[in-house]
Copies of this chain bind each other. A is one copy, B any other.
Amino acid sequence: MARRLVIIGGDAAGMSAATQVRRMKTVDELEVVVFERSSRTSYAACGLPYLVGGFVTSPDSLVARTPEQHRAKGIDVRIRHEVTAIDVKASSVTVCDLESGLESAVHYDELLIATGASGVSPPWPGIEANGVLQLRTLDDAAAVERLLAAGARRAVVVGAGYIGLEVAEGLLKRGLHLTVIERLDAPMGAVLDADMGADVAGAIRAAGIDLRLGTSVTGFTVLGGRVTAVETAAESFAADIVVIGLGVRPNAELARAAGIAVGESGGIQVDDHLRTGSPHIWAAGDCVESRHRMTGRHVVVALGTHANKQGRVVGTNIAGGDAAFGGVLATAITRFQDMEIARTGLSEREAAAAGFDALGVTTEASSRAHYYPGAQPMKVKLVVERGTGQLLGAQIVGGANAGKRIDVLATALWNRMTAAEVSGMDLSYAPPFSPVWDPVLLAAGKADAML
């Protein structure tokens, strides 16, 4: 009889793992059963804000692979099935068929926990009202469409992080009046330093959005079950739609209840092979904590890139191979209208908190040769360690073609380069693509000179 891999969760990490196992093992060697509580698999949640904004027009285009397509590849996907418990001693999970309500126990030889993360949802009075939502699923996007069709005019986005800004841009493009309420003193305050965040704030306001920084939501006014306003200590903001974008927390309760170790970060603890502390139980994706390469500390960075990579790594290992996940730099990129925003490694604030004697150096540069049409201003902030000159982190804010340069700096961080080393690298140049000193080199040279 075939051994059985049970996977809890059919999104990026789970399905990448399933696919990788199928590449390496036949169904007769290792059966793969995936329990997914929603009715969809492998959809691009990152695309949802662009669906709302109308940049992407077909919801179906966000589905990378349907349950049927996975089944055709020999993966036994069971949608609308929720795993409610793991019995480590019995090597079985309790599964509830959400259609019938029937529960059953399913044996596993290997278990992969890929339960993802859930949006943070504070206990604010009225948060359950109609019109208050998060943008985490295609159903959420459909709910936004219904509210727009019903005549919604005023939207409030709570949280000025990645999702918050992407949703705000999308709803603005749909013609709504937008207010963004952020508890911190700058947008993207969790990932950018305040000086870089100030540029983002400028772009948000220039777009006509009412951005309220340093402002905490206290609850919602609800009328007939529908939200009508967002309340703060000082003010009330009328709203037909409220989108909560406060980040996510790992879905680690199932693991914790089964006695599987969960870290201080709230993510399931795994080693570099994505083994949990319990034999034959693995975990991957938004539900785990990962080693930050610059600090060695364990952090939760819920991004599809890591979920996909970890899925492949854990699939390889479950199938008898030997793969390691190399850790994270918390590299990320987004866009607000024409402004590109990217970061990697540690911000100045994070570096200081981690005990580094760090210096932040910001360089203004041009995305192209100054004389070439379409050259856009951009800012590169580098965080470097005094003494060693080691690069600890980078942030970029600028126009077209600014943001993706963060990958060069991420690669430099991955290799623990110093600012001096980076400034000497042989990067590409032609007038339509960069100044003769690429902004990355310019920034590294300036940081080196300041050390």
Residues of chain A touching chain B, judged by Cβ–Cβ distance below 8 Å, are 12, 44, 46-47, 50, 55-56, 58, 61-62, 162, 293, 303-306, 308-309, 324-335, 340, 342, 344, 369-373, 401, 403-408, 410-412, 414-415, 417, 421, 424-434, 436-438, 440
**Cross-interface CB contact of A440 among B325, B327, B403, B407, cutoff 8 Å:** B407
Contacts A58-B371, A327-B426 known; list 11 others, CB within 8 Å. A46-B431, A61-B371, A304-B436, A305-B426, A332-B429, A333-B428, A333-B430, A342-B428, A404-B404, A410-B425, A410-B428
Determine if A372 and B56 form an interchain contact, defined as CB atoms under 8 angstroms apart: yes
Contact of A335 among B50, B344, B432 (CB under 8 A): B432
Copies of this chain:
2
Query: Which residue of B has the minimal Cβ distance to A343?
Result: B428
Cβ-closest chain B residue relative to A51: B371
- Assess the B430–A344 pair: CB atoms within 8 A: no
Which B residues lie within 8 Å of A436 (CB)?
Answer: 12, 44, 46, 304-305, 308
| Measured CA separation A370–B10 after assembly (Å) | 21
Contact of B404 with A428 in the complex, beta carbons under 8 Å: yes
A50 vs B368: C-alpha distance when bound (angstroms): 13
Offer 28 A-B interface pairs, CB within 8 angstroms, sorted by A. Answer: A46-B369, A46-B429, A46-B430, A47-B369, A47-B371, A55-B372, A56-B371, A61-B371, A62-B371, A304-B429, A305-B436, A308-B437, A309-B424, A326-B421, A327-B426, A329-B426, A331-B427, A333-B428, A333-B433, A335-B432, A344-B426, A403-B433, A404-B428, A404-B434, A411-B412, A411-B415, A411-B427, A415-B417
Q: Is the CB of B405 within 8 A of A407?
A: yes
A331 touches B428 (CB 8 A): yes
With A56-B372, A417-B415: A426-B50 Cβ-Cβ less than 8 Å: no
Q: Which residue of B lies closest to A63 (CB)?
A: B371
The residues of B that contact A369 with a CB separation of less than 8 Å are 44, 46-47
> What distance in Å separates the Cβ of A288 from its nearest Cβ neighbour in chain B?
15
Instruction: Given the known inter-chain contacts A56-B371, A372-B55, please indicate yes or no for A407 contacting B427, CB distance below 8 A.
Output: yes
Cα of A242 to Cα of B431 in the assembled complex, Å? 23
Q: Are A411 and B425 in contact (CB under 8 A)?
A: yes
**What is the chain B residue whose CB lies nearest that of A162?**
B430
A333 to B368, CA, bound (A): 13
Establish whether residues A407 and B410, one from each chain, have CB atoms under 8 Å apart when the complex forms: no
- A428 and B332 contact, Cβ closer than 8 Å, known pairs A58-B371, A408-B407: yes
Best-surrounded residue of A46, A325, A328 (most CB of chain B within 10 A):
A46
Once the chains are docked, how many angstroms separate the CA of A369 from the CA of B48? 12
Q: Which residues from B are CB-within-8-Å of A293?
A: 426
Considering the complex, give the chain B residue whose CB is closest to the CB of A326: B424
Q: How far is B403's CA from A415's CA once the two chains are assembled, in angstroms?
A: 22
| A62 nearest CB neighbor, chain B only | B371
Residues in B neighbouring A408, C-beta threshold 8 A: 407-408, 411
Which one of B305, B308, B342, B372 lies within 8 Å of A50 (CB-CB)? B372
Min CB distance A329 to B, Å, is 4
CA distance A330 to B309 in the complex (A): 31
The answer to whether B426 and A328 touch across the interface, beta carbons within 8 angstroms, is yes
- Report chain B residues within 8 Å CB of A404: 401, 404-405, 428, 433-434
Q: How far is the CA of A335 from the CA of B429 in the complex (A)?
A: 11
| Chain B residues, CB < 8 A from A370 | 61
Q: A415-B417, A436-B46 are in contact. Are A427 and B372 (CB under 8 A)?
A: no
Inter-chain contacts of A50 with B (CB < 8 A): 372, 431-432
